[in-house]
């Protein structure tokens, strides 16, 4: 998947067309994986946890990332460098706001703790997200927290994207960490 996404990024189309290509590629790979695994029975709980905690978010985070980038490009102000810089500064803050709102889970996830993995990443314990993502309409192929992992990964990558946009503008702000 990553090689195909990289091909999209290198095409000589407009930035929006490249982003659309990356989104379609990530979405297509996820759909193919989901379909291929639709009848798969995990050998044990550890395999299921690993899939929903580590594997699935690698695919779905790409879908979320290119959705964020696409929205950013659509809502970015035109022409006024000060407004554009302010916009990308605000977008760069999304990661911080996300982390604040999901602090307990992110701390758990990043710490390497596994004590709640059965609750968070097994479908038997599934408490569906209040607003499932379009790629997660199949409740049999999601858990209560795999979407949060995907969202975190996407927010981290989007943060890097916004930093790059600010660098392109020659931004000299002091919160690019």
> By the 8 A CB rule, do 38 and 31 touch?
no
pTM over 0.85: yes
Nearest to 144 by CA among 71, 65, 52: 52
With a pLDDT cut of 90, the percent of the chain lying above it is: 62
Nearest to 91 by CA among 63, 67, 72: 72
d(CA 147, CA 45): 19
Q: pLDDT tens-digit profile of 72-93?
A: 999 999 888 899 999 999 999 9
Q: pLDDT tens-digit profile of 39-52?
A: 889 999 999 999 99
């Amino acid at each position: 998947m990553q090689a195909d996404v990289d091909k999209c990024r290198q095409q000589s189309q407009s930035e929006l067309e490249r982003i659309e290509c990356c989104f379609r590629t990530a979405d297509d790979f996820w759909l193919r994986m989901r379909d291929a695994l639709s009848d798969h029975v995990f050998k044990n709980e550890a395999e299921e946890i690993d899939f929903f905690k580590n594997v699935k978010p690698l695919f779905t985070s790409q879908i979320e990332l290119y959705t964020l980038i696409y929205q950013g490009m659509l809502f970015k102000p035109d022409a006024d460098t000060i407004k554009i810089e302010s916009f990308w500064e605000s977008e760069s803050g999304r990661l911080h706001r996300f982390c604040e709102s999901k602090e307990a889970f992110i701390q758990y996830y990043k710490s390497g703790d596994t004590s709640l993995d059965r609750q968070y990443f097994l479908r038997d314990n599934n408490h569906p997200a209040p607003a499932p993502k379009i790629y997660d309409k199949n409740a049999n192929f999601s858990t209560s927290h795999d979407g949060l992992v995907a969202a975190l990964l996407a927010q981290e990558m989007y943060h890097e994207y916004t930093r790059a946009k600010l660098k392109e503008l020659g931004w000299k702000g002091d919160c690019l960490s």
